[in-house]
Amino acid sequence: MSYFGNLQKIQYEGRQSANPTAFKFYNPDQEILGKTMREHLRFAVAYWHSFTANGSDPFGVGTAARGWDSYTGMDLAKARVEACFELLQILDVDYFCFHDRDIAPEGNTLQETNRNLDKMVALIKENMKSSGKKLLWNTANMFTHPRFVHGAATTNNADVFAFAAAQVKKALEHGKELGAENYVFWGGREGYETLLNTDLGLELDNLARFLHMAVEYAKEIGFDAQFLIEPKPKEPTKHQYDFDVATALSFLQKYDLAPYFKMNVEANHATLAGHTFEHELRVARINGALGSIDANQGDMLLGWDTDEFPTDLYTSTLAMYEILRNDGGIGRGGVNFDAKVRRASFEPIDVVYAHIAGMDSFARGLQVAAKLIEDRVLESVIDERYASFKSGIGADIVAGKASFRTLEAYALQNKPIVNRSGRQELLKSVLNQYMSNV
């Protein structure tokens, strides 16, 4: 059975190609700055958007026409696994990501739910073995079921906290079983709706307790995946605790969790927080916490999480610039397409086109960012812009040798201050030039 129309593996044909099922920029074996594109980008398909979701929205039912629509229960779960490995093969993508609830239906009891999961994990493991595909990360869905109405690790109900712990324990075991390279914590309902009924201090302390238990358990079972926090400011709760990268980092530092976690930065979450994607990546990078990315984009005219496939070359270029400047690049992380086709793009082939568009956008971003770095375009501007901190009083400040007294003495005898232009418009036009010429 083919779910995506018996397509052959997508090939690179170059930027002149008019073939909709060919890569225009993603050439997996092309070397850039000493690594292949495949190694730099480590693309992943998100199970929930491409196999579990059906295109429904708050106003209407699903529109997606899929070859697995006629199945239910465990048969449906099995068909989706087949579809997943078929798509990975077609796209020549090495990784995938899932929530526990994406891959197996919830049973009537936790025992039954876990049995369903165990069966599906065994099936996925077989498929991974025969195909060579890998799990970039797994995670636990602690937001869909009504039991999480008040949160999971930040609920007011200790029984729910215990259930969530049991769920993550199982997910960590499955991550280990499948050799997941990362494990993601996105606090779907970890936030609040109103302070009038919320013990903010206890909820945050409990979240930290929960994460410490996860770190300990992973260590105990020898699961050495990189742990990632995925910040998001709102949706589903009005205020999410992991608001943005800076907020998540200060939380981790306060609770002595910083050494165990990096960030999974999602583009659409950055824009919801009032930041650019590159801002969030930069904040993570300079704090040694850039772990992985969820590649998608929001719609600037809509204030919610639209999870569109990323096609904006400006953003993919600046994102790849941050990744290339990161120590070790994307490292154990990857570029996960946490993105869904629009409701009106309901045919299976649209899922293929959408991934090709996203992969080409990041491949193109990689090419331009690499050239910018090679030519030290931004580095030389920045070096010069901060030159005053390389010698004299600036060097003293940086070396920790200055105090308010020495700085006052300097300022009192100093010549009139001269500032220089930041040249923002010039830099933007140089960036445009690189984007069209490279």
Catalytic amino acids? 99, 102
Closer to ligand XLS at the Cβ: 294 or 322?
Answer: 294
Query: By CB under 5 A, how many residues form the interface with Ca ion?
Result: 6
What is the CB neighbour count within 10 angstroms for residue 84? 24
> Per-residue contact track with ligand XLS, 378 to 397, x per CB under 6 A?
--------------------
Q: Give least dist CB 266 to ligand XLS, A.
A: 5
Answer for which of 113, 114, 139, 326 binds ligand XLS (CB under 6 A) is 139
Distance CA 28, CA 41 (A): 9
Closer to ligand XLS at the Cβ: 139 or 297?
Answer: 139
State the burial class of residue 117 (Cβ atoms within 10 Å of its Cβ: 0-12, 13-18, 19+): buried
Answer for which of 181, 242, 266, 322 binds ligand XLS (CB under 6 A) is 266
Q: In the range 186-205, which residues lie near ligand XLS by CB under 6 A?
A: 186
Answer for which of 242, 294, 308, 360 binds ligand XLS (CB under 6 A) is 294
Distance CA 368, CA 152 (A): 42
Task: Tell me: does residue 305 bind Ca ion (CB under 5 A).
Answer: yes
> Strand (E) positions, 130-237?
134-139, 182-185, 191-192, 226-229
Task: Tell me: does residue 338 bind Ca ion (CB under 5 A).
Answer: yes
112 contacts: CB under 8 Å, gap ≥ 6: none
Closer to ligand XLS at the Cβ: 339 or 431?
Answer: 339
For the record, the structure tokens of 6 come out as 């018996």
> Per-residue contact track with Ca ion, 265 to 284, x per CB under 5 A?
-x-x----------------
Closer to Ca ion at the Cβ: 28 or 298?
Answer: 298
Judged by phi (left if over 0) then psi (alpha if -120 to 50, else beta), residue 187 lies in beta
Q: In the range 323-362, which residues lie near ligand XLS by CB under 6 A?
A: 338
| Residue 363 touches which member of Ca ion, ligand XLS, none, C-beta under 5-8 Å by kind | none
What is the CB neighbour count within 10 angstroms for residue 30? 16
DSSP code of residue 46: E
φ, ψ of residue 335 to 5 degrees: the values are: -110, 95
